[in-house]
Structure 1
Amino acid sequence: MSSQPEPDPGLSAVMSERRQLINVTYRLLGSLAEAEDAVQETYARWYAMTPEQRDAIASPGAWLTTVASRICLDLLGSARVRRESYVGEWIPEPVPEPAEWPGGAAADPADRITLDESVSMAFLVVLESMTPAERVALILHDVFRYSFAEVAEITGRTAAACRQLASSARRRIRDSQAAPAPVARRAGVVRELKRAWEAGDIATLIGLLDPAVTLTADGGGLVSAALEPIEGAEQVASYLARLAELAELAGAGRTYLERTVNGQPGLVAQMDGVTVTVFAFEVAGDKISHIWAVRNPGKLRPWTAGQGAG
């Protein structure tokens, strides 16, 4: 009888870091697909070392986070170039509430994103305006509570420089985001918009939108979507009404589902049971100030698993 190989006692400890790594890399990159690739590359580098080299690392978790963050720094630099040539507007990839992943796509808790204000669409969009170093300093220090000395080691800068980067990043957040409404109020406003949209009630739609509301759509050049942001309550309401009209003309059964999008109340549009658009909202006071509509099929993967062909 052949003996079974001895299990690696450190394997479970190292793999248990996966969820933390996914949470860090998603916030740094704004893309679940890119985050998964970065984590895979991190583990590849870990196992490329000899057992003796791995044994010499006092804190595997800290090593993995450091390597993953450096990989993200490199990716953010190249992502900026790629997104400049992106067809239309680029919006971070939306993620659902873990319990709402269709088809068991996120059955493994290690692949789930912990949802809080640091993954709201409004927050992630502001992160896109930051330099890679600002983004890394803010996320690691303010969200994951790494000391500036630790952030300095990861970024190759001094602790003082990292403190300055985080401070600059915080100013960007303060300058671009209104104070959010309570979650229950946000959910109520989104629900009212859903009802008005389904009823074709343009007047009510306009009343729910801030006069300076902006709608940004991301189709990635693969499906029809507004290539430029749409501004103004009347213009946005007309665009939403037009979407409903086009679906009706196509003879497709279009439904809107209330879902959690990046930890916030959102909507999911389905055509004949298949998710085609995910809507995220920013609500200030009792008005919707920003709508993000993600239509790029590549970014809807977590929402469409198990739904069949779109």
Structure 2
Amino acid sequence: MPAALLENATFSPSTFLLSGFPGLERAHRWIALPFCFVYVTVLLGNCTVLHVIRTDASLHVPMYYFLAMLAFTDLGLSLTTLPTVLGIFWFDSREIPFGACFAQLFFIHSLSLVESSVLLSMALDRLLAICDPLRYGCILTTRRIVQMGLAFALRSFALIFPLPLLLRRFRYCRTNVLSHAYCLHLEIMKLACSDIIVNHIYGLTVVAFTVGLDSLLILLSYVFILRTVLRIASKEERLKAFHTCVSHIWAVLLFYVPMIGLSLIHRFGEQVPHVVHLLMSYVYLLAPPLMNPLVYSIKTKQIRQRILKKLCSVTTPQP
């Protein structure tokens, strides 16, 4: 289509229209049931982890501070998508104003970068605990952990903040219908009839210098951890050291594998069926918040014992 005709076809909608599962609109209320269950589980699981860490003084150590950051970030990520996802499936509420859409986009992407940073800090925690245990407490002080958390948030918010501003300057001519139940940068960008090369370059640069760099540093940290653990003479001590990393490795895989897969599908998977795009997007945003509390509750003895103790104290009748 010639540029002049494309420009004439431009319109200025005040809202975007979100999609659920196209073709399954009649089943949306039934589809809402598993999504509702997932969100309730996410809220209960992460709130339980936060409550246990906050109320148990023995867990006020770096490893659990970072786990609390992870749970808090997962909560934020889920609450950001919950209104639009359940709004579509339960009430068929598809319209979302530009401002609300750009705000949701900002929080989804910035909290995802925060989670990547927290996973990197947890890898650093394991690296110091295994490779340099004598200096562990001196390096990871409470003050330094707070500074790291603030730095993570500042880095993420500062890098994502330009995205809504860049999207606001576009004209949208093709359609105002988004293919997901929430707003993502790549999805909105595709609807523009303006030149989006700046957004493409900036988006790829942000991903490379945040998620890409974080994942590379996490991999490097585990190379050093593996090298240190293999030097341990006792087989039992090696297994114990590896066991302390299992939960974190699961959390890393749950976060990075869907994120990388979704990014590749969005950019290069034009032939991939649309349903795969949808499923990958939901897995990317819901799998880590859902599974992280379960993984850490099962694999981390201290968390598991505290949760069972809390449950027993609630269910046991008082004399």
Which structure dedicates a bigger proportion of its chain to strand?
Answer: 1
Do both proteins adopt the same fold according to a TM-score greater than 0.5, normalized to the shorter chain? no
* TM-score, with length taken from structure 2: 0.31
Q: By percentage of residues, which structure has more helix?
A: 2
